[in-house]
Structure 1
Amino acid sequence: MRSDLLRFADWSSPVRPVARELSSALPDGDEGRPPLLFVPGLGHGPWAFTEHWLGHAARRGFPAHAVGLRERGDLRAYAHDVVQTAASLPRQAVLIGHGAGALVVSRALARYPARAGVLVAPVLDGWAGLGAALRANPLGTLPAIVGGALRLSRRQLFSPELPVEQADAYRGRLVPAGARAQWQLLAHRAAPRPVGSPPVLVVGSPDDRVVPRAALDRTAARFGAAPLLFPGMGHDLMLDAGWAEPIDAILDWLGKELPPTTP
């Protein structure tokens, strides 16, 4: 038996239950598609997916949900919330995480038998991401190293194609992440392998100023594939000017990997 499935910490020190925010968009009919559960990164909330991706996925026949991460949690608590939310859905879900949410999903996949996993601009290689962030935005990154708030710049999150007013409005909705969660982005152990060996897709941009291209390649290689890349986009692919292209590619991939079942 895999030792990571025993989860002694969950017995000796159970995760404190909290009310979880869940946003949903459902298709008009049951097309036999698996539900999608989107997990935002630090500072973001379900709103980052309700803006475009949830409705778009629903229009293509996928029940789509986005869960909010608890305040002042850690990776174990975040993964717990994702697993509990996925288990509450009527069908076995696809887990889709963005940024630090992809790190959470990588841990949830080790505990929940997902139909598939999608890691969008994944922050799994923390030290490489720190170096990229320091080069792109030293003033916003240095405080996070000593427990302050990480402040991502407009150039890190979005491409120049997104209007400045819209980019600033999105940045205004970001909330500070807890110091513990920020530190765990750097100092964390690799997640155990996923339960049931589901297909896993890595999605990102070679122009991301938060996750370097080499980190995308390393993450994808862990799952035996190459990353699906969208040049010219920033870190927040779901909010950037070209948001439709990545989600359509993800849904196309899911359609090939997971043909719809008979309702």
Structure 2
Amino acid sequence: MTLELVRLPSAAPEKPVRLLFVHGICTGAWVWRQSFLPYFASLGYDASALSLRGHGESKGRESVRSLSLGDFANDVEWAVNEIGGPVVVVGHSLGGGVVQNYIRRGGRAAGVVLMCAAPPHGLMRASAELFIRNPALFRELQRVLERGIRNANLDIIEDGLFAEPPSPQLRRLFFERMDDIAETASRQLYGFTSFAPLPWSMPKLMVLGCEKDEFVPPADVRLTAIYYGARSVIVKGGGHAIMMDSNWRDAAEPIASWLDREFGGGI
């Protein structure tokens, strides 16, 4: 399996850990290229972004709907080995579920950042809340699961992704690059079968969410942190696709501060 791994080397004195960013549903490594990779490289991190199989420039698009969390965990394992050295893995949304499954399966990481990530108890609670709070978006997500992203009302999906309307350029980039949904993996995230590790097997951890996230609301971010015995950070005014939003620094800077606290003195 040929996978896309976008790598930006450190542009400052190199930090003791390297970073691997794992994207969420229907996207790819490209969501990290605009802001997060250059930002962390400027701080001294060797920063890489992986496109899971069936996404971005990785192979496997023809079978993406049947791919599982286990398939994607294998991709993370490949990327960690390819990068080499101590790696902190940052998983967003679906990618956060993949990273938890990677650790559950015995994967190694110096640390983990769960960013607007599927919670260890699954997405059933968040889905029920969305059904009540935003039924139009709930219906569109069900349509995406059943018929694919191109059959959905992208205006409604956009409102769920961003806290503020995106620029025309960002909107065009986002919806031109979106891939079909990994249906099997997405359904696994509802939590009918466990995908998360036991709390004590998780390495150093940061849990970050966003105040205006329609998909993984702050309540589930806090429950994730409680499960793992960590503290949560909620980005005020942030939406689900925070890494591409105009206020992306509000998420990047707390991650940078956590990395410095936990690894500034080395491993």
User: Normalized against structure 2, the TM-score is what?
Assistant: 0.84
What are the superposed Cα offsets for residues 21-53 of structure 1, whole Å, 9 maximum, x if unpaired? Answer: 100111135523311000001101000001110
What are the superposed Cα offsets for residues 27-86 of structure 1, whole Å, 9 maximum, x if unpaired? Answer: 135523311000001101000001110111000001000111112221001011101210
| AA aligned opposite 1:77 | D
What are the superposed Cα offsets for residues 195-253 of structure 1, whole Å, 9 maximum, x if unpaired? Answer: 86421111111211111221111111111123101121110110111011211110110
* 1:41-190 pair list within 5 angstroms: 41-71=24-54, 72=64, 73-110=67-104, 111-124=106-119, 125-134=122-131, 135-136=133-134, 137-144=137-144, 147-149=146-148, 151=152, 153-160=157-164, 162-163=166-167, 165-186=169-190, 187-190=192-195
| AA aligned opposite 2:3 | R
5+ unaligned residues in a row in structure 1: which ranges? 1-17
1:19, 1:260 → 2: CA distance?
36
- The reply on whether 1:32 has 2:15 as its aligned counterpart is yes
SS at match of 2:95: helix
Match of 2:238 among 208, 233, 238: 233
SS at match of 1:22: strand
After superposition, the Cα gap between the structure-2 partners of 1:112 and 1:230, relative to the gap in structure 1 and judged at 3 Å, is: same
User: Normalized against structure 1, the TM-score is what?
Assistant: 0.85
Give 1:102 deviation, angstroms.
0.2
Structure 1 equivalent of residue 58 of structure 2: none
After superposition, the Cα gap between the structure-2 partners of 1:24 and 1:195, relative to the gap in structure 1 and judged at 3 Å, is: farther
Calculate the aligned-residue CA RMSD, in Å. Answer: 2.1
5+ unaligned residues in a row in structure 2: which ranges? 55-63
2:129, 2:158 → 1: CA distance?
15
1:172, 1:129 → 2: CA distance?
27
| AA aligned opposite 1:122 | A
Give 1:129 deviation, angstroms.
2.9
Give 1:96 deviation, angstroms.
0.4
Q: Identify, as 1 or 2, the structure richer in helix.
A: 2
Equivalent pair of 1:96/1:117 in contact (CA under 8 Å) = yes
Structure 2 equivalent of residue 10 of structure 1: none
1:160, 1:68 → 2: CA distance?
26
| AA aligned opposite 2:71 | A
State the number of aligned residues.
244
Equivalent pair of 1:113/1:196 in contact (CA under 8 Å) = no
Equivalent pair of 1:106/1:194 in contact (CA under 8 Å) = no
2:43, 2:255 → 1: CA distance?
12
